[in-house]
Structure 1
């Protein structure tokens, strides 16, 4: 993948055979720590969601970042995470279905749709009835339920013209997406 400075990407992957990639809360925490270490030096996170068998990131590559270095660090990230899960679960073989996927989102319309889509994942998968109860997403940060530091919220607000009011933000994140919106984001 060739990442361009200033480019905005939807990065995602799922477990091999759609199997879990997270087995307990510590796995989610470990994955988030690895995001901080391997992703944040190169990109600003605009949104994220970790699901039991897949993940979504919406990121903007930092100006001056070297795309090849980001791709290399992501390879290290996923290899080391896979090794940790293999050791924990006493298993071998691929954890992820394939190499991570990254789609550049050049259109502001698709960017906003992806932002909402990422945050709606727990609801769409029926993991939670209320999106604010799923702890493994940036939804809580944007709606004032948590003050996490992983997302570059001021940058996201600028790029997406996001509302400052948490109630308005919640309404925005839960808006109905156009039919087929997911297909445009992959």
Structure 2
């Protein structure tokens, strides 16, 4: 298996393109089962709005699905900033100093409007597939510009 650094070698990100990102917590810890930790992570997405235009997100107990249009910063820098902001805030809140996120992330550049809509539906429905809610509106940590 290749490291995420080798998988990303030769890839570049493009301004104005849409990306679907999945970021996992360190050792798949259920960090966001804590309402307070989940609030910190969800609010931190707002800090990123100068760098991306968020289409939708869903914060699951052990990972984040995030669909956005990239602005000026490269994708890797956006993810680095988000991870840094949330790690500092979550560690401060919990009086801890550990890792919050796994190294790396999964990304998919969307190529069509149909792909954009399908990804948004997939992301928003994630809590339903995981049996965390019976209806999308019951789950507190998601948002989508289409709804």
Larger radius of gyration: 1
Do the aligned partners of residues 17 and 79 (structure 1) sit closer, same or farther apart at CA in structure 2, a change above 3 Å counting? same
State the match for 1:67 in structure 2: 73
> d(CA) in 1 for partners of 2:30 and 2:93?
13
Report the alpha carbon displacement of residue 79 of structure 1 after superposing the two structures with TM: 1.8
Q: How far 1:90 sits from its partner (Å)?
A: 4.9
**Alignment equivalent of 1:25, drawn from 27, 35, 46:** 35
TM-score for the superposition, normalised by structure 2: 0.78
Rounded to whole Å, the distance in 2 between the matches of 1:8 and 1:119 is: 16
SS of corresponding position for 1:22: helix
| Larger strand proportion of the pair | 2
Aligned length: 137
Mapped partners of 2:98, 2:32: distance in 1: 16
Cross-structure match for 1:43: 52
Runs of 4+ deviating beyond 6 Å: none
Using the size of structure 1 for normalisation, the TM-score is: 0.63
Secondary structure of the 1:97 match is coil
> Which runs of no fewer than 5 residues in structure 2 stay unpaired?
1-10
Equivalences for residues 47-126 of structure 1 within 5 A: 47-61=56-70, 65-68=71-74, 71-126=76-131
Task: Kindly indicate whether structure 1 or structure 2 has the higher relative contact order, using CA contacts under 8 Å at least 6 residues apart.
Answer: 2
Conserved 8 A contact 2:52-2:68: yes
